[in-house]
Amino acid sequence: METIKGPAIFLAQFIDEKPPFNTLDGICKWAADLGYKGIQMPTLDARFIDLKLAAESKTYADELKGKINSYGLQITELSTHLQGQLVAVNPAYDSLFDAFAPAELKNNPTARTEWAIQQLKYAAKASSNLGLNAHATFSGSLLWHTFHPWPQRPAGLVEEGFTELAKRWTPILNEFDKFGVDLCYEIHPGEDLFDGTTYELFLDKVNQHPRACLLYDPSHFVIQQLDYIQYIDFFHERIKAFHVKDAEFNSTGKQGTFGGYQDWSNRAGRYRSPGDGQVDFKKIFSKLTQYNFKGWAVMEWECCIKDAETGAKEGAEFIKKHIIPVATKAFDDFAAAKGDKNLNKNILGLK
């Protein structure tokens, strides 16, 4: 077993126009001062990383890595959550998801998809240049608007949707395989990969591709009322990244998992800062350690109540307290008997 690395922090929710969150140096110093050892990097803001250049120039990648290392930090993974979303977009969501793409691609879904796919391919090479072995993303969705089967889904619809999703992602997965990087899908409502069953449907369509891995985030499973502990037992071999994000689910006589179109603070299921929700992180850290998870524990702040900077400060200490330094010897080694073939036979009553 190995000790989980951390604490680390996902920067996406903290990047801003005001210091120290508007420059790489500023945000690195801030994170390091809070006690973080790693940062998960979003890749759409050129103030922090030029993804294309990181893919094309090892020199640039080395300089970027060196700057981050100078603050006592490591890059845990790059993130293309927003670009991954755009690999597959149902037309019903075109106007909403156009905001994730460059302005010149708006109202051009075909060009937007091509751009997103190229972004993922850049991320594969950039990750390699930065010495990373895992990458975080979303799957996108063609089917999400049909997740509740009313009106009844036509026969073959789900099959066709996952066939198309796999067709778009297979060349990307092959690119990540070429560079030795695991592509970790964050299983998330709004994506076609939103639970374990949909992930298995996708795996079948990509022929169990070895790079089609998982970013484990229990918060989304609390809101879905899915057993997030047993999920680790099912999928631990594929879990290569980990978000420490909390959530709670408190159903009422008026609403449940669908949330009644309410804002986050008024939903039955809502995201919370680590330690403020219902996720049993002691069990999670124990399970992941037991299964020899080799990655980072990355705090993702999404809370509808607590201030972001307070959540970040508390999150570093929360992760530190949950990381389990693995044992270097068995607790009963002191009473171990010396191995001896004849002794073993004697104990078993064998001649």
Give the confidence band of 344 by pLDDT, cuts at 50, 70, 90.
confident
Q: Which is more confidently placed, 350 or 83?
A: 83
Distances (CA, A) of 11 to 60, 120, 155: 20, 19, 42
Whole-number pLDDT of residue 335: 67
In the predicted structure, residue 329 carries a pLDDT above the cut 90: no
| Gyration radius of the chain over CA positions | 22
pLDDT tier, 330 (very low <50, low <70, confident <90, very high otherwise):
confident
Q: Above pLDDT 90, what percent of the chain? A: 93
Question: What is the distance of C-alpha 299 from the center of its chain?
Answer: 10
261 has pLDDT over 80: yes
- In b/e form, how buried is each residue of 100-114, taking b as 16+ CB within 10 angstroms? bbeeebeeebeebbe
pLDDT value of residue 43: 98
Distance CA 104, CA 98 (A): 10
As a whole number of Å, the end-to-end CA separation of the chain is 38
Determine the 3-state secondary structure of 181 from DSSP.
coil
Task: Please determine, for residue 21, whether its predicted confidence score (pLDDT) is greater than 80.
Answer: yes
**Residue 341 confidence (pLDDT):** 87
pLDDT at site 338: 76
Q: Tell me: pLDDT of 177 over 80.
A: yes
* Mean residue pLDDT across the chain: 96
- Token pair 């999400």 is found at 144
Mean pLDDT of 274-298: 98
For domain 5-348, the CATH architecture is: Alpha-Beta Barrel (3.20)
> pLDDT over 70 for what percent of the chain?
99
The average pLDDT across 271-288 equals 98
Q: Mind listing the pLDDT tens digit for each residue in 182-209?
A: 999 999 999 999 999 999 999 999 999 9
Question: Hey, where are the domains in the chain?
Answer: 5-348
pLDDT tens-digit map of 92-104: 999 999 999 999 9
* Digit-coded pLDDT (tens) for 39-73: 999 999 999 999 999 999 999 999 999 999 999 99
Q: Where are the alpha helices (DSSP H) in 144-227?
A: 157-178, 196-205, 219-224
Taking residues 147-161, what's their average pLDDT? Answer: 97
Whole-prediction pTM value? 0.95
What confidence tens digit (pLDDT) does each residue in 216-235 have?
Answer: 999 999 999 999 999 999 99
In single-letter form, the type of residue at position 64 comes to L
pLDDT band at 129 (very low <50, low <70, confident <90, very high): very high
- The CA distances from residue 130 to 69, 71, 300, in Å, are 12, 16, 22
Looking at per-residue confidence, does 340 or 317 come out higher?
317
